[in-house]
Amino acid sequence: MMREIKNILVLTLLVGLVSSPAFAQPETPVSEWTGKTILLVGAHPDDDSNSYGTLSMLQENGNEVYVLLMTTGNVGTKDPDMTRDRLAKIRRGEELRALNEIGIPEENYINLGYNDGMLEFTDRKEVVRRLVKWYRKLKPDVLFAFDPGYGYQKWLKADHRRASYLAVDAARAAEWRLIFPGQITQDGLEKHWIQEYMFYSGVEEDKNTWVDISGKHADRKFNAVSKHVSQFSSAWEDYNGSNLEAEDLPTEDRNEFLDKMRSRVYDNKKDGTTVEGFRYYKGIPDGIGHRRH
């Protein structure tokens, strides 16, 4: 495998020579993946929601799926009576119930606990260090992350921009034994190379992989997305109670909410099929943004 890394590295250096097969779709279709460890990294609870269909499929097909979010999402509300800690707990509950819908157990959910909106002001080295530790611990085969861009850097709002770079910079750091060596000498961890990437929220024209989630995975996605009541329903402005479910909303609000969620899941189509689109990349992290002719 070492030799393979080296070869890819050398390949990467042959800039401008040949069109690289690395940017093609996955050799094995996503729907046939099995036995892999999958890690999705995002900034807030619900950043994973546009990937719920694919994660559901992966989890069912015998892969181990983890979700790591960096902030608690504790400022995302327009409810004048909502407080930070109450919201943090609500969103944790929503996230866990959503993950449960797609078969991911609570112990596979990691939240770094940062305050929402402050991620862009948090020491980058320390967050990268924490991510690297998780990468080395979980040893994912595939990383789902915000697309940092392809060729050019994508414009993302502040915390997604930050989350995007943190996730891929950490992927690069994780593979070098001599970076953050304390994790290796003290915690018994080893360097780890994440070989495959599924980038979400990228620029539309850069997507190269669409996963067919039609059927049960779309339905589970719908159920999962519908757990984020605090974010997408009328509770956004007025959250009464705790651990609200769709059924707790007034009838009209509930219907409006579920319609939107339905549209969000089922209207995302390619060639008439319900899909989730990604930019797939395979190789060393160095080449994540390489656009060659």
Interface with a second copy in residues 259-278 (CB under 8 A):
260, 263-264, 267-268, 277
Name which of residues 44 to 63 contact a second copy (CB under 8 A): 49-50
User: Closest CB to a second copy among 142 and 168?
Assistant: 168
Instruction: Report the DSSP beta bridge partners of residue 111.
Output: 69
Name 6's bridge partners: none
Residue 184 found at the interface with a second copy (CB under 8 A): yes
Q: Does 226 bind a second copy (CB under 8 A)?
A: no
52-89 burial: b if 16+ Cβ within 10 Å, else e: bbbbbbbbeeebbbbbbbbbbbbebbebeebeeebbbe
Among 24, 62, 152, 250, the residue binding a second copy under the rule CB under 8 A is 152
Q: Which stretch binds a second copy (CB under 8 A): 28-36, 97-105, 178-186, 244-252?
A: 178-186
Residue from 32, 35, 80, 107 touching a second copy (CB under 8 A): that is 80
Nearer to a second copy, 56 or 71 (CB): 71
Q: Is 140 helix (H, G, I), strand (E, B) or coil?
A: coil
* 121 touching a second copy, by CB under 8 A: yes
Identified binder of a second copy from the candidate list 21, 29, 182, 250, rule CB under 8 A: 182
User: What does 217-258 look like in DSSP terms, one character per residue?
Assistant: HHHHHHHHHTT-HHHHSGGGT---SSS--GGGS-HHHHHHHH
How far is it, in rounded angstroms, from Cα 131 to Cα 98?
23
Is 26 a binding residue for a second copy by CB under 8 A? The answer is no
Task: Give the Cα separation of 94 and 78 in Å (integer).
Answer: 17
Which residue type does 14 have?
L
Q: Does 241 bind a second copy (CB under 8 A)?
A: no
The single residue among 107, 204, 247, 271 that binds a second copy, judged by CB under 8 A, is 204
